[in-house]
Structure 1
Amino acid sequence: MKIALLGYGKMGKVIERIALERGHEIVLKKDESNSFEGLSTADVAIDFSVPTAAVDNISNSFNANVPVVSGTTGWLEHYDEMVALCNEKQSGFISSSNFSLGVNIFFELNEYLAKIMSQFDSYNVSMEEIHHTQKLDAPSGTAISLAKGVIENSAYAKWTLEEAKKDEIFIEAKRIGDVPGTHTVTYNSIVDSIEIKHTAHNREGFALGAVIAAEWLAGKKGVFTMKDVLNLK
């Protein structure tokens, strides 16, 4: 499979290595210093860039008839536009806040736990996320996805980075050293606490999941999620 890498930072380089190990070819390594030349020859594009570049990367891919796997976060106010363009061009699209196989299992656990805990109003839920100091958005896309998973399965209405009201989920966003990503969901009451936690040890899991998603998406048309890729629906 021919892959265009849109974003060639730390994650892009790990994705490149894993893709090559799995027998794929890299036809474009896009960063701010070069053009989209070679994009149209790709079977799929993998976008791990920055929020300000994501929409341009995704748009150019769809216009070149290339499906997109996007792991960039912080641009989702334009998500519906990209979905519309994907459908207009009859392309394929997977956007996820986190492609790690373990994190996507964690998402499922989070939703299941939220359904159970919604019956017990003596518990308050909060979240903590820790990432490296180079991460541009806070809270992380993964933390927002976790919060949405709780909101969709409980009486909570929204998340906040400030002091939480009764119907809000407090997210504490920390930026420390070179931490790949740690996410904790805690249900706390006067008598006890229940906690689920995912800790990434390196970037390998994110990169492998993105390549697996690209392999799955190649040749498909439509908008999908990691639930489709991992058959979690």
Structure 2
Amino acid sequence: MKIAIVGYGRMGKIIEKIAMERGHSICARLSETPTRENLGGAEVAIEFSKPEVAFDNVKSCIELGVPVVCGTTGWLTQKPEIEALTHATEGAFLYGSNFSLGVNLFFALNEKLAQLMEAQKEYTCQLEEIHHVHKKDAPSGTAITLAEGIVDNSVRYSYWKMNETKEDQLGIFAVRQDDVPGTHSVFYRSNVDEIEIKHTAHSREGFALGAVVAAEWIKNKKGVFSMRDVLGITY
């Protein structure tokens, strides 16, 4: 199919490579807001840009009737507006804080563990994420998704915040280090032991492959979706 890449940075170039390897054509490589003219007849747009322009990019694509797969984080306060627009226009929108197959399985594991740990009051939960020094937002979108998964499956924690967990405030430590693609850890600690689940990305290609697979999946669909829908994760 014809794919427009909106945000032609490091991720955009890897997405281009993988999409072409899978037999697709790249009809647009944009560093500006999409328009009918510069989208080049795209059947799907994959948006990996910057937090400050992501909303306008996605909004333009939805208004033009082009399904959007978006992986930009740091703009989610405006996401409900995009979801409402998608429903109103019978468009298609899929957001992922992380498109890696492994991470999305990790999300499901995290939620299941949160349910199991709910009755174990002697344990305190703490999150940590490590990314390259060029990442602009903190905490990462993936860490936020993990934190929300815990909050939604626990009565003990009401919301997440940066730094250490205190009372009903679930903490996230955000570390910026060299060229790390992304490492996310969830800890449950008591006075006598510690449980840890961890996902470590070794390259950005896993993120790019997942985004292309999501673009293949969303073509000709209508609605608001996530990687759970793409992967068939039901709980």
CA distance in 1, matches of 2:108, 2:15: 25
Equivalence map 1:38-77=2 (5 Å): 38-39=38-39, 41-77=41-77
Deviation of residue 120 (structure 1)?
0.4
CA distance in 2, matches of 1:165, 1:226: 31
Partner of 1:106: 106
Deviation of residue 162 (structure 1)?
3.5
Partner of 1:198: 199
Q: Is the alpha carbon distance of 1:184 and 1:163 closer, same or farther for their aligned partners in structure 2, counting shifts above 3 Å?
A: closer
Query: Does residue 80 in structure 1 map to residue 74 in structure 2?
Result: no
CA contact (8 A) 1:133 1:177 kept: yes
2:225 corresponds to which letter in structure 1?
F
| Alpha-carbon RMSD | 1.1
Alpha-carbon displacement from aligned partner over 1:74-94 (angstroms, at most 9, x marks no partner): 111111110111112211110
SS in 2 for 1:74: coil
Partner of 2:136: 136
CA distance in 1, matches of 2:22, 2:162: 40
Flag structure 1 segments of 5+ consecutive residues without an equivalent.
none
Query: Does residue 182 in structure 1 map to residue 191 in structure 2?
Result: no
CA distance in 1, matches of 2:23, 2:217: 15
CA distance in 1, matches of 2:38, 2:76: 26
CA distance in 2, matches of 1:46, 1:35: 11
Flag structure 2 segments of 5+ consecutive residues without an equivalent.
none
1:62 corresponds to which letter in structure 2?
I
Q: After the TM superposition, which segments of 4 or more aligned residues of structure 1 sit over 4 Å from their partners? A: none
Partner of 2:115: 115
CA contact (8 A) 1:40 1:64 kept: no
Partner of 1:172: 173
Deviation of residue 163 (structure 1)?
3.8
CA distance in 1, matches of 2:52, 2:26: 23
CA distance in 2, matches of 1:105, 1:72: 20
* Residue-pair matches, total: 232
CA contact (8 A) 2:125 2:165 kept: no
CA contact (8 A) 2:42 2:66 kept: yes
Partner of 1:30: 30
Query: Does residue 89 in structure 1 map to residue 89 in structure 2?
Result: yes
CA contact (8 A) 2:34 2:60 kept: no
CA contact (8 A) 1:127 1:143 kept: yes
